[in-house]
Amino acid sequence: MKPDTSDPEIVRIFDRLACGRRSIRGFLNQPVAQEILERIFETAASSPSNCNTQPWYSYVVSGEMRDKLSGIFMQTIGQGNYAFDFPYDPKYEGIFRQRQLDVGLLLYKALGVTREDKEGKRQAFLRNLEFFDAPHVVFIFMPQWCGIREACDVGMYAQNLMLTMHAHGIASCPQTILGYDADSVRRELDIDVGMKLLFGISFGYEDPDLPENRIVPERATLAETVRFYS
Ligand SMILES: Cc1cc2nc3c(=O)[nH]c(=O)nc-3n(C[C@H](O)[C@H](O)[C@H](O)COP(=O)(O)O)c2cc1C
């Protein structure tokens, strides 16, 4: 299918989709129908990749297994016991640190968590491990041989996935935190040790009543991130 990309209607709809997607941190208890799930993952797989290697692997978890993994994460990640495939210890500096602080402030303000409120911050962290009540979570893996270029392929796939979900009215939140206990995910889902976990994405229908779902993190200006040459 070759869309006519010069069609202003397509441009308008795509802008709305790309700019309207947000990380959502509160979901309704309403599962997504299996045929919609399959359609979404099929569309996401149209992503580009180096040499068309398609190094992405999605493991979609719902129902009892979802609850079980959430419980395990509370005992492992929630207690500070991590088993990463890809270490994450960000010490952002300068503008990157500022952006990290800004989005944190925005989220804590929406949640009513103050700067000194350590317990509030911990509860906000733990919400990640409850998948923000989402009925589904997808764990995104790639084979062990993959390097940074293949990880870029997987990132493109993940964005396609979230945009396709958004087109279907399904909200999502990508979560690095869900990659903090890769061993348990592999064990529970019977995934080969040669597959490595990058992150998870909680998804489902958004709870529209939650203030944390109304935050809109700012983006840098065009001049800060793009240069045009001729
Ligand atoms: C790979 C990746 C991992 C992320 N991990 C987390 C996470 O663990 N927990 C969380 O609440 N948000 C997480 N986020 C969401 C970011 O905070 C969010 O994308 C950013 O603040 C921009 O907001 P937006 O997605 O609403 O546009 C993650 C985003 C990406 C792309």
Ligand 1 touching residue 202 (CB < 6 A): no
Structural domain contains residue 132 = yes
Structural domain contains residue 2 = no
CA of 1 to the centre of ligand 1 (A): 32
Using left for φ > 0, alpha for ψ between -120 and 50, and beta otherwise, residue 190 falls in left
pLDDT band at 4 (very low <50, low <70, confident <90, very high): low
Question: Residue 162 has what pLDDT?
Answer: 98
Q: Whose CA is nearest to atom 6 of ligand 1?
A: 175
Instruction: Give per-residue pLDDT as tens, 187-197.
Output: 999 999 999 99
Token code pair at residue 197:
């976990």
Structural domain contains residue 122 = no
Q: How far apart are CA 84 and CA 165, in angstroms?
A: 27
Structural domain contains residue 100 = no
Q: How far apart are CA 152 and CA 132, in angstroms?
A: 26
Structural domain contains residue 120 = no
CA-based nearest residue to 162, from 134, 190, 185: 134
Question: Residue 2 has what pLDDT?
Answer: 63
Q: Whose CA is nearest to atom 4 of ligand 1?
A: 175
Q: How far apart are CA 164 and CA 21, in angstroms?
A: 10
CA of 185 to the centre of ligand 1 (A): 20
Q: How far apart are CA 176 and CA 191, in angstroms?
A: 19
Residue whose pair of structure tokens reads 């994405």 in the numeric block: 201
What does the CA dihedral 205, 182, 47, 62 come to, rounded to 10 degrees?
-30
> Once rounded to an integer, what is the mean pLDDT over residues 11-35?
97
Question: Residue 90 has what pLDDT?
Answer: 85
CA of 179 to the centre of ligand 1 (A): 13
Question: Residue 33 has what pLDDT?
Answer: 98
pLDDT at 55 over 90: yes
Ligand 1 touching residue 48 (CB < 6 A): no
Contacts of 28 (CB under 8 A, 6+ apart): 133, 204, 205, 206, 207
pLDDT at 179 over 90: yes
Ligand 1 touching residue 174 (CB < 6 A): yes
Question: Residue 6 has what pLDDT?
Answer: 83
Ligand 1 touching residue 176 (CB < 6 A): yes
CATH of the domain at 167: 3.40.109.10
Instruction: Give per-residue pLDDT as tens, 57-89.
Output: 999 999 999 999 999 999 999 999 999 999 998
Token code pair at residue 80:
């500070």
The parent domain of residue 31 ranges over 8-89+127-225
Structural domain contains residue 106 = no
- Global confidence as pTM: 0.97
User: From the DSSP assignment, how many helices (H) and strands (E) are in the chain?
Assistant: 8, 4
pLDDT band at 28 (very low <50, low <70, confident <90, very high): very high
Question: Residue 68 has what pLDDT?
Answer: 98
Contacts of 217 (CB under 8 A, 6+ apart): 102, 103, 106
- Which mutation among 21, 176, 216 tests ligand 1's pocket best, with the greatest number of atoms within 8 A of CB? 176
Residue 198, φ and ψ in degrees, nearest 5: -90, -55
Number of domains in the chain: 1
Structural domain contains residue 95 = no
Instruction: Compute the half-sphere exposure of residue 199: CA atoms within 13 Å on the CB side of its CA.
Output: 16
Structural domain contains residue 72 = yes
pLDDT at 117 over 70: yes
> Once rounded to an integer, what is the mean pLDDT over residues 27-37?
98
Question: Residue 23 has what pLDDT?
Answer: 98
